[in-house]
């Protein structure tokens, strides 16, 4: 059995998803390859998985003829679906939905994608994200659908003991773009620092994906809020180094703060939980996989700075609740997103498509 996963660029949550599922599936005897249309910072994270970067039709055609994949999983890029079929590829193609931004954007993308998906694909795959489930049920009635949680491998991406930071750290992971809502993070961070001037803000981003206009707005807000002495920005950190940072944030007495408007799954939250780092987040839909308020983490209303500050202070001060949430969150995620469960669900999808596996 040989599968190709296709995406635009190796970066963000999909890059993490692709690596983790390829390793889990390969351990079960399923050969997995990756294809990206352009180079990206996430290439530094990939080891042991055949990975190809190409965008020209003739190169893709030669590649598919050479490798004879049983199945191709195309994430988000519905425009490439007819191109794959024009190569005379006859195997199964699954269109995978991840994220897609706001509910409005997700609906419009899935409407635009419908003709290509129905004419070129054998099914549609998506995580158990409520808004995606509702839209896909509505738009793709009668079409083969496969819905299960993404993978989070807590055995390899997990807590690591490091020197404890001298003061609480509030972490943030994402792109400097509207949906990740970086402005809310800076505003909340400023208010938390007003309560405790020792607090540090650590932001992790992929600087290569930030638009210049957005970067200018970001830099101006950092200056206006006088955050420079408190703020550390790290770009393109190796993925296998991130457990150290999440673990240090948790040990510092701080937490991961997620300010996203909408998430399809929310890998930063899953990774933080795996490293015993508490989470305060907006109810950005996909994160409901992990967060039950005051049980496995904390929610606050979108763009409600006052509520976020109150919940954040409670998370830092209420040590018994904090410790209970770290344990509850880890156990809850393992019960829903383990590698074993993902492989079982993926194999069942292949069986439904007619493969003996």
With H, G, I as helix, E, B as strand and everything else as coil, classify residue 216.
helix
Looking at residue 198, what is its pLDDT? 97
Average pLDDT, stretch 79-99? 96
pLDDT value at position 312? 98
Residue 105 has φ and ψ, to the nearest 5°, of -65, -40
DSSP 263-320: BSS-HHHHHHHHTT--EEEE--BGGGGT--BTTTBEEE-TT-HHHHHHHHHHHHH-HH
**What is the SS3 assignment for 82?**
helix
Summarize the confidence of residues 55-79 as an average pLDDT: 97
DSSP letter assigned to residue 79: G
pLDDT digits (tens, 9 = 90+) for 25-44: 999 999 999 999 999 989 99
Cβ–Cβ contacts within 10 Å for residue 163, how many? 7
CB-based contact 282:259 (threshold 8 Å): yes
| CA distances for 343 relative to 22, 91, 349, angstroms | 10, 21, 10
Is the pLDDT at 178 greater than 90? The verdict is yes
Answer yes or no: is pLDDT of 357 > 90.
no
- Residue 210 is predicted with a pLDDT of 87
pLDDT, tens digit, 9 for 90 and up, residues 113-155: 999 999 999 999 999 999 999 999 999 999 999 999 999 999 9
Q: What was the pLDDT predicted at 228?
A: 97
Contacts of 185 (CB under 8 A, 6+ apart): 172, 201, 203, 257, 259
Average pLDDT value over all residues in the chain: 96
Question: pTM for the full model?
Answer: 0.90
Residues counted in the chain:
357
pLDDT (tens digit per residue) in 216-246: 999 999 999 999 999 999 999 999 999 999 9
Distance CA 287, CA 42 (A): 23
Name 71's bridge partners: 3, 92
Q: Output the pLDDT for position 250.
A: 98
CA atoms within 13 A on the CB side of 127: 27
For residue 246, what pLDDT is reported?
98
Tokens matching residue 21: 């599922």
Cα torsion 333, 9, 99, 242: sign = positive
Is residue 102 over pLDDT 90?
Answer: no
Residue in this structure with the two tokens 């490091």, named with its chain if needed: 162
Name all domains of the chain by residue range, CATH numbers in brackets: 2-151+338-352 (3.40.50.2000), 169-336 (3.40.50.2000)
Strand order in the sheet with 71-75: 51-53, 31-36, 2-7, 71-75, 92-96, 123-126, 145-147
pLDDT digits (tens, 9 = 90+) for 314-353: 999 999 999 999 999 999 999 989 999 999 999 999 999 9
Q: How far, in Å, CA of 307 to CA of 291, rounded?
A: 17
DSSP assigned state of 41? G
């Amino acid at each position: 059995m040989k599968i190709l996963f296709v995406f635009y660029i190796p970066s963000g949550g999909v890059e993490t998803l692709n690596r983790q599922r390829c390793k889990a599936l390969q351990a079960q005897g399923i050969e997995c390859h990756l294809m990206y249309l352009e180079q990206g910072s996430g290439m530094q994270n990939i080891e042991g998985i055949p990975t190809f970067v190409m965008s020209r039709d003739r190169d893709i055609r030669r590649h598919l003829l050479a490798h004879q994949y049983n199945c191709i999983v195309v994430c988000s890029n519905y425009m490439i679906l007819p191109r794959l079929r024009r190569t005379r590829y006859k195997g199964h193609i699954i269109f995978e939905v991840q994220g897609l931004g706001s509910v409005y954007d997700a609906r419009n993308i899935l409407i635009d994608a419908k003709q290509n998906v129905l004419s070129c694909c054998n099914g549609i795959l998506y995580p158990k994200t409520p808004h995606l489930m509702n839209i896909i049920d509505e738009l793709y009635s009668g079409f083969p659908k496969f819905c299960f949680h993404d993978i989070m491998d807590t055995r390899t991406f997990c807590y690591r003991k490091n020197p404890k930071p001298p003061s609480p750290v509030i972490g943030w992971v994402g792109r400097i773009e509207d949906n990740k809502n970086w402005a809310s993070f800076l505003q909340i961070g400023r208010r938390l620092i007003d309560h405790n001037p020792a607090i540090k803000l650590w932001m992790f981003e992929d600087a290569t994906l930030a638009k210049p206009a957005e970067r200018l707005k970001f830099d101006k807000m950092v200056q206006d809020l006088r955050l420079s002495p408190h703020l550390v920005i790290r770009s393109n950190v190796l993925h296998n180094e991130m457990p150290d940072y999440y673990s240090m944030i948790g040990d510092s007495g701080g937490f991961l703060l997620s300010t996203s408007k909408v998430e399809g799954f929310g890998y930063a939250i899953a990774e933080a939980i795996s490293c015993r780092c508490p989470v305060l987040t907006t109810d950005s839909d996909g994160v409901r996989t992990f967060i039950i308020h005051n049980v496995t983490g904390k929610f606050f209303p979108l763009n409600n700075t006052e509520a976020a500050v109150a919940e954040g202070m409670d998370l830092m001060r209420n040590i018994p609740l904090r410790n209970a949430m770290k344990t509850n969150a880890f156990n809850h995620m393992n019960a829903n997103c383990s590698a074993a469960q993902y492989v079982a669900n993926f194999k069942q999808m292949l069986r439904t498509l007619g493969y003996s596996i």
